[in-house]
Chains A and B, each alone.
Chain A
Amino acid sequence: MAKRVGMEVGIAAAEAVGLCNIDVAAVYPITPQSHIAEHLSNIVADGRINAEFITVESEHSSISSLCGASATGARTYTATSSQGLMFMHELLPIVSAMRLPIVMGIANRAVSGPLSIWNDHSDIMPQRDSGWITMFAENGQEVVDMTIQSFKIAEHKDVMLPASVNIDGFQLTHMVEPIEFPTQKEVNKFLPDRKPFATLHPDKPITMGAFAMPDRFAEVMKAKDVAIVNSKKIILEVWKEWEKQFGRSYNPVETYKAKDADVLLVTMGSMGETAEIAIDELQKKGVSVGLVKIRLWRPFPTEELKAAVKGAKVLAVTDRAVSFGGVSGPVGMEVKSLFYHEKDRPLITNYIMGLGGRDVTVEDFIKMAEKAVEAEKKGITEEYEFYGVRG
């Protein structure tokens, strides 16, 4: 049994990457991701791993250079946040269309303006439709585990898609947490060298990144969708394998005291742990409430979420991003559309909260749950609510 160490989560993310025998990293610093960038370059500078670290001049070039590196067959990693992720946006659907298994850590942060370095999910949400496997970590241990798992998932011959591990900025990246690291030997066993399907090499010249006329383009889009939908099977397999080797289990949707609860809070990311405390307090008071945490955002865990909320009367879905002028927040919309065809669908309320680093406390989750209980009695009056926001 490996021993636990106290470590800042951002540093731990870089340490996890250091265990993965990567070949090329290209990282451009941005708060709150910087510690990942710095620590990974330390690991390279100390010769602890045999990899190229490209000190790119921008995020656009970090993801672009990794396209080139990944296409040669290299295992590649980058990390970014907020404006950096927005700057990469153009390239993200290209990466997935080219089926390049790049792994990216995202220290989630609000998107300007106004400029804010603090945490929410407004950076990852605009990337939703880019064809990346997207998961959210709740604590430091998950960050380490999911980073290692991501390489295996992304590179699997039946997946070959990029993957991102979302880590709430500051609220998770800068926390010091107890973390258990697998040994290098254990990781080597779990994650052998990448075996690429096709690479750029003169021994077998191929053309990558061709353009498509209207009679082909749609097929490529469908192929990408089929690939990401089918990736769930591999994700589940890899998580099972992880559980077998390391004893920690991972599921697309996690539940906390959700069984038979009338009201379920739905969270994504590190706030799940705060919400758990709220659930404990409410249950003590006899309120029938539980918690559902979405870990896997893309591919969306439709069956798992339906199963997790079966029997619930109200879902209080929380969102940490705004779809301005939309029907709800991004998670709210997703969940609502999922249940439209269900006969016994729950009532769904949607709270947009924790924007730009605004604290969301145990009391806040309690209030949201109470609002949801109220909605159950009185019916829904609005599609979504900016929870605790002035004006």
Chain B
Amino acid sequence: MNIVENFDLFAPRLVDKKEYFTSGHRSCQGCGEALAVRLMCKALGEDVVISCATGCMEIVSSMYPATAWEVPWIHVAFENAAAVGAGVEAGLKALRRKGRIPDRYIKSVAMAGDGGTADIGLQALSGAMERGHDMLFVCFDNEAYMNTGMQRSSQTPFGASATTSPAGKVSYGQKTWKKNVPEIMVAHNIPYVATACPSYPLDFMRKVEKAKNIKGPTYIHCLSVCPTGWRSASNTTIKVGRLAVETGIFPLYEVENGKYRITVDMPEPLRPVEDYLKLQGRFRHLKSVEIEMMQERVDLEHRKLMNKVNNLQSWEELEEEGAILEVWESVLAGSEGYIE
């Protein structure tokens, strides 16, 4: 079991030494997504079942007959990790209630890439979150369909050249801004939503631990640097992740019962986006006009976020009779009045 309360003080000793996502998997050198999965597993500990979508992490870890997983793990398809995880939760709940498995709490955790979360997997994710399963869903966002060769997703950032949104003579690459999945999750009224990045391992692990301990649907969106797809040097993964935060491109925050909080301070003023862009070949083609557009949008998004952080109250503060927070308890209680 991990103890996270004092992580900031005693962190090096408190990180679980045991590996649940073991070495020997076949991710690329410097893969930020594999690092993030490893950290997530350490924060989750043993009593979990992981449902994983098709994608890089599935492919690098599960080539029959070998496996990198030391925890129970299932892969079914690309777009359904949230549904599979929901079924795992329901199965464990029913079997435990009926005394057919030991009376012990086991967390259902579902994971997917940005494609398996924000695009093809969004319906299953929304359904699972709306139904209120006691499940943590973690999106490992490397900003494209990397497993199939770096095609664009709704998470590919503006200006990036991806293989289906390539930069060309008349195109600067991706035209759209990232779909805001954390915000979509907040709109599901779930008790906990957070963004994270393995460049800040303790922040990420604390969030995973927190989400694990909340009985209800929770969501973490983890920016995962992909040197292969981002055309960045494999020894700069941590640095690139840090720059994403310091430029305000990917702020780290959490939303607990409606209350927004920045969890990793950003410099003031933010570092220029160019510092982040210039380390990555996927932005190499950008001209100053596009970089300026990007800077303006990042600044706007930052102000939008800070507006929420500064002005939104938590549901506890807003509600009068404590009714809203009881909703999840009653959802989780189910037909049998069964509650953890």
Contact = CB atoms under 8 A, between A and B. Distances in A.
Interface in B268-298: none
A24 B94 contact: yes
B88 to A, nearest CB: 4
Given A50-B98, A94-B76, A211-B64, A57 B127 contact: yes
B71 A205 contact: yes
Contacts of A73: 91, 95, 100-101
A72 B95 contact: yes
Contact of B127 (A58, A66, A202): A58
A127 interface: no
A26 B130 contact: no
B65 A210 contact: yes
Interface in B47-77: 47-49, 51, 58-59, 62-65, 67, 69-77
A71 B69 CA distance: 16
A278 to B, nearest CB: 45
B95 A210 contact: no
Interface residues of B, number: 54
A205 B72 contact: yes
Nearest to A94: B76
Interface centre among A47, A94, A208, A213 (most CB of B within 10 A): A208
A139 B106 CA distance: 43
A193 B98 CA distance: 11
Contacts of B93: 52
A203 to B, nearest CB: 7
Interface in B22-69: 46-49, 51, 58-59, 62-65, 67, 69
A69 B336 CA distance: 18
B22 to A, nearest CB: 11
Contacts of A201: 49, 72, 101, 106
B154 interface: no
Interface string A279-314: 000000000000000000000000000000000000
A19 to B, nearest CB: 16
Contact of B130 (A57, A94, A213): A57
B97 A50 contact: yes
Contacts of B95: 23, 72-74
A208 B74 contact: yes
Interface in A29-73: 44-45, 47, 50-58, 60-61, 64-73
Nearest to B49: A200
A21 to B, nearest CB: 9
Interface in B116-144: 123-124, 126-128, 130-131
Contacts of A212: 63-64
Nearest to A219: B64
Interface residues of A, number: 49
Given A67-B84, A68-B85, A58 B123 contact: yes
Contacts of B123: 57-58, 60-61
Contact of A213 (B49, B63, B79): B63
B168 interface: no
Nearest to B59: A211
Interface in A192-221: 193, 200-213, 216
A200 B102 CA distance: 13
A47 B335 contact: yes
B185 interface: no
A201 B100 CA distance: 12
A23 B88 contact: no
A53 B130 CA distance: 15
Given A90-B77, A205-B72, A209-B76, A23 B87 contact: no
B86 interface: yes
B12 interface: no
Nearest to A194: B100
Contacts of A51: 94
B64 A50 contact: no
A338 interface: no
Contacts of B128: 61
B166 to A, nearest CB: 28
Nearest to B108: A68
A238 interface: no
Nearest to B336: A50
Contacts of B94: 23-24, 50-52, 69, 74
Contact of B91 (A47, A53, A69, A90): A69
B87 A24 contact: yes
Given A50-B97, A57-B126, A72 B88 contact: yes
Nearest to A95: B76
Contacts of A74: 90-91, 94-95
A5 to B, nearest CB: 26
B91 A24 contact: yes
A91 interface: yes
Contacts of A23: 91, 94-95, 98, 100
Contact of A64 (B72, B76, B100, B131): B76
Interface of B: 46-49, 51, 58-59, 62-65, 67, 69-77, 79-80, 82-95, 97-98, 100-102, 106, 108, 123-124, 126-128, 130-131, 334-336
Given A55-B131, A68-B90, A216-B65, 11 more contacts: A53-B335, A58-B123, A58-B124, A65-B90, A71-B88, A72-B91, A73-B95, A74-B90, A200-B72, A208-B75, A216-B64
18 contacts: A23-B94, A57-B124, A64-B80, A67-B84, A68-B86, A68-B91, A71-B88, A71-B91, A90-B77, A91-B80, A200-B72, A200-B73, A200-B74, A201-B106, A207-B73, A208-B75, A210-B63, A210-B65
Q: Which 5 residue pairs of A and B lie closest in terms of their CB atoms, listed nearest first? A: A68-B87, A57-B127, A65-B87, A72-B91, A69-B91
